Every structure is written in structure tokens, then in C-alpha cells.
């Protein structure tokens, strides 16, 4: 091999000279130009003395010079995606943006006319100035051609007069048909021609997924029929209320911009169907910080028909109150369970008492505090585990109606007992 190497090198030089005359210099110049144009260095390998074994394996004709003008695959992969992929990505991204834009335009043009501007006027008496008035505003949406409009209860609470402005500018005084403070819902009615009323389509909130498109239309800060877009940020939130000693359950959280004045307006899905009623924001700055809340549309579908029929919603009621049982409380009171609800009070002649749920039979003093003990410990409703009072209220409120029967599983005297309770109506609401 060592003796044949000079001969091969000489032969290679002759071949190189011949190839140069045949255009190899042009090829090399083209390669240099291509290399200069790309950010990834191109490796040119000239092999003048290949291993005979490699040559034999590759081809029966000896090859003396190999010129590689293509970057190594690893360098190409690191440098950048191929031109084809880059070209394909651009139009795809633009197409997606165009489609989303057209979707939002179509939804706004279709649903926007169903959103109304609600103005509430409140009268009060001042010691020095006598009768005074204030106004507030919010949003609402038309649900049928009979003139019924859904909004938030807090938008029209204590109002002496409620006016509604339709999309075509028509302004009329509305009647308050029914209210439900616990679910922060109210139904208004306007007496106008059905031709002026375009109803929304109600969707479904039980099947929502985090990440779905969420579109809000309303009147933030008095700016009529403004649209904002976001996503469903979370589901199943519990939202305490200021005006009533009750929480909103299964609330939808969204980052679509919601501000004062959006209350009562619809939250929509990507098909323009109502999935919630915008009702509150996380009040840090007084304006939207990307954390808004909406009453789920399944609550609307459950409550609104009763508001239209009788002006109020009948809330199911078990008729007990109790302590949340924790491992620490169970150890302190020597309870037979470390989770559930220790019944501390049973409403006389209430649903639970009539069914046989037992309340406390004695009191103990712990850290100078009297604690009723000896009552049942509720651990399940209809076979579903219940660990605290909020879970109990949520289940009864969202899954049951007045007159339904709920099976209450209790621990009593270290044994388990099932008690069927016929739910009554929550008093004073």
C-alpha cells in the first residue's frame, strides 16, 4: 500500500487537472458561493488515497477523489429547519389566524344583537337634600322572543327602575320577572315587537374543558357591546358572595377581559353558544387582571324557568348544620371517623329530623368552648363521599331539587346507617 500511494497521488493530480478543465473549478466556486450564503459551514472532504478495502466494497471501479459539497446532516439539523418546512409553517399560522378572526367576526355579528344594555336607577333620601337618585349599568342577553332577558341579580338589586337598551337603540323600561340572589341571577322582560328580539343559543357547561375558547360580549364601563377573547382558565370554582351568606358553585374562571359593566353579559364558546353569565372579577385593581368568573349556563337552565314561572327559585334544603371533621378534631373528641360532617344542629321538624338524622345529645367543654357532640357524622350523599359542609351544600344545591330524596350515609355508634331524606325548601330566600 505504501509503495502504491505516490503513484495514486500522481494519478489524482492528473485527474484533478483534467477535471478542472471540465468544470470542476466552476463546481468548487459554486460550492464556495453556496457555503458563504448559509450560516452553517459546509465541509468539503478531498480523499486522494482511499482505503482499497473501502473502494472494493463501494464499487468495482476505483474512485480517487470524493468532493462533498453538502453539509453534514448533524450540522444541517442544528442550523435551521428545511426551506420546505419554513414555507409550510408560515401559511399555516396565517391561515389559523385568519380563520379565528373570521370566527370571532361571525360570532359577534350573530350574537351581538342579543346583548342588551341594562341601566338601573336607585332612589334614596338624604337628610339635607331629600330624595336623591343614582344609576348603575350592566349587561344582559335575550333568551326568547317573548322579551325575557337574563342578567345578574346584583345589576338590578334594589332598583326602583330598570331600563333596557336594545342593539338597534330602542330603549324601554323593563319589568323584573324574578330574582335568585343565591345564584346571582335575575330575569327581566321587555314589551317590544318580537322582530326586535334575537335570542341567544344556550350551550352546555358540564362538558367544558380548560383551554376552550371563551368570548365575552357586554358593556364594560358603559362601552356598549364590547367583545373580548380568552380561554376557560379553570372550572368548578367556589365563589363566596358579599350580599348573601352563600357561595356560587361550579363557577367558570376565564381570562377574557371582564370589567365593571360586563356583569350579566354572556360568556360564549367557539360556536357562539352561551356557556356562562359574566358575574365577577378578582378585585385587586378594580379592573380586569385576567381573572374573571361566570355563573355556569347549566345553573341558568336550572334556575331561569322557575324565575319566569313563579318569580323565585326554590332551593333544596336538608335542614342541618355541623362541623367539618378533621383528624385533629376526631382525636380531640374521640370520634369514630376522621372525615365528614359532625351534626351539631338539626332543624326542628325539618327534612333531616323527620327522616331520622340525629343531632347532638350532650356538650363538652374544650379550651373554654362548648361543643355539641353525640350527633351523627355525615360521610356520603347518594353514595358520594362528603368531607366538608361546602361539598354537602354544593351537592344538594346543584344536583337536587325540592321534593327529591337524597340518601344520607352517617356513622352512628361506630356503625354505618343510610337515611333517606325528602328534601324541603330553604326558608327565607
Distance CA 357, CA 363 (A): 18
Domain boundary among 79, 103, 122: 79
For residue 207, tell me if it sits in a domain: no
Residue 123: the pLDDT is 82
Is 232 found in the same domain as 161? no
What average pLDDT score do residues 19-35 get?
38
Domain boundary among 131, 166, 196: 196
Domain boundary among 278, 310, 342: 310
Is the pLDDT at 194 greater than 80? The verdict is yes
Provide the domain count of the chain. 4
For residue 90, tell me if it sits in a domain: no
Distance CA 304, CA 311 (A): 9
- CATH number of the domain within which 306 lies: 2.40.10.10
Q: Which of 109-123, 205-219, 365-379 has the lowest mean pLDDT?
A: 365-379
Is 184 found in the same domain as 221? no
Is 321 found in the same domain as 295? no
Are the C-beta atoms of residues 413 and 335 closer than 8 Å to each other? no
Query: How open is the CA angle 244-254-197, to the nearest 5 degrees?
Result: 80
For residue 93, tell me if it sits in a domain: no
Is 38 found in the same domain as 9? yes
Is 418 found in the same domain as 320? yes
Radius of gyration in angstroms for the set of CA atoms belonging to the chain, rounded to a whole number: 37
Are the C-beta atoms of residues 411 and 374 closer than 8 Å to each other? no
Distance CA 173, CA 155 (A): 15
Active site residues: 154, 184, 263
What average pLDDT score do residues 367-382 get?
91
List pLDDT tens digits, range 41-93: 444 333 334 444 443 344 444 444 444 444 444 443 444 444 444 444 566 88
Is 328 found in the same domain as 282? no
List pLDDT tens digits, range 131-186: 787 889 999 999 999 999 999 999 999 999 999 999 999 999 999 999 999 999 99
DSSP state of 40: S
User: Domain span at residue 343?
Assistant: 316-425
Residue 175 burial by CB count (10 A; 0-12/13-18/19+): exposed, middle or buried? exposed
Is 415 found in the same domain as 383? yes
For residue 287, tell me if it sits in a domain: yes
pTM for the model stands at 0.74
For residue 253, tell me if it sits in a domain: yes
For residue 374, tell me if it sits in a domain: yes
Amino acid at each position: 500500500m505504501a509503495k502504491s500511494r505516490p503513484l495514486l497521488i500522481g494519478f489524482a493530480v492528473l485527474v484533478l487537472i483534467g477535471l478542472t478543465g471540465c468544470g470542476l473549478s466552476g463546481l468548487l466556486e459554486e460550492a464556495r458561493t453556496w457555503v458563504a450564503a448559509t450560516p452553517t459551514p459546509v465541509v468539503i472532504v478531498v480523499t486522494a488515497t482511499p482505503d482499497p478495502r473501502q473502494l472494493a466494497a463501494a464499487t468495482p471501479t476505483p474512485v480517487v477523489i470524493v468532493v462533498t459539497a453538502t453539509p453534514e446532516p448533524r450540522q444541517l439539523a442544528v442550523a435551521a429547519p428545511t426551506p420546505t418546512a419554513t414555507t409550510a409553517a408560515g401559511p399555516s399560522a396565517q391561515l389559523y389566524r385568519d380563520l379565528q378572526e373570521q370566527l370571532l367576526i361571525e360570532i359577534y355579528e350573530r350574537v351581538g344583537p342579543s346583548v342588551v344594555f341594562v341601566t338601573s336607577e336607585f332612589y334614596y333620601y338624604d337628610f339635607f337634600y331629600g330624595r336623591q337618585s343614582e344609576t348603575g349599568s350592566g349587561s344582559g342577553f335575550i333568551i326568547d322572543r317573548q322579551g325575557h332577558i337574563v342578567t345578574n341579580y346584583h345589576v338590578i338589586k334594589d332598583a326602583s327602575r330598570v331600563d333596557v337598551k336594545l342593539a338597534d337603540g330602542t330603549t324601554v323600561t323593563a319589568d323584573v320577572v324574578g330574582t335568585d340572589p343565591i345564584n346571582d341571577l335575575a330575569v327581566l322582560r321587555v314589551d317590544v315587537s318580537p322582530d326586535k328580539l334575537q335570542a341567544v343559543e344556550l350551550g352546555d357547561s358540564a362538558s367544558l374543558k380548560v383551554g376552550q375558547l371563551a368570548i365575552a360580549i357586554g358593556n364594560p364601563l358603559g362601552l356598549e357591546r364590547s367583545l373580548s377573547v380568552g380561554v376557560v382558565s379553570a372550572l368548578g370554582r367556589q365563589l363566596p358572595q358579599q350580599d348573601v351568606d352563600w357561595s356560587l358553585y361550579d363557577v367558570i374562571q376565564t381570562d377574557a377581559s371582564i370589567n365593571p359593566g360586563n356583569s350579566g353579559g354572556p360568556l360564549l364558546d367557539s360556536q357562539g353558544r352561551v356557556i356562562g353569565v359574566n358575574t365577577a372579577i378578582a378585585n385587586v385593581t378594580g379592573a380586569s387582571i385576567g381573572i374573571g368568573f361566570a355563573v355556569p349556563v347549566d345553573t341558568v337552565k336550572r334556575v331561569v324557568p322557575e324565575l319566569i314561572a313563579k318569580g323565585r327559585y326554590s332551593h333544596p334544603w336538608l335542614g342541618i348544620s355541623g362541623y367539618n371533621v378533621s383528624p385533629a378534631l376526631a382525636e380531640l373528641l374521640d370520634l369514630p371517623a376522621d372525615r365528614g360532617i359532625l351534626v351539631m344542629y338539626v332543624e326542628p321538624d325539618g327534612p333531616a329530623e323527620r327522616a331520622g338524622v340525629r343531632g347532638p345529645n350532650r356538650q363538652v367543654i374544650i379550651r373554654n368552648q362548648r361543643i355539641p357532640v353525640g350527633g351523627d357524622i355525615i360521610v356520603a350523599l347518594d353514595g358520594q363521599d362528603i368531607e366538608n359542609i361546602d361539598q354537602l351544600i354544593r351537592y344538594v344545591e346543584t344536583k337536587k331539587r325540592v321534593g327529591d330524596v337524597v340518601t344520607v350515609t352517617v356513622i352512628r355508634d361506630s356503625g354505618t346507617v343510610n337515611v333517606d331524606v325528602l328534601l324541603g325548601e330553604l326558608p327565607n330566600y
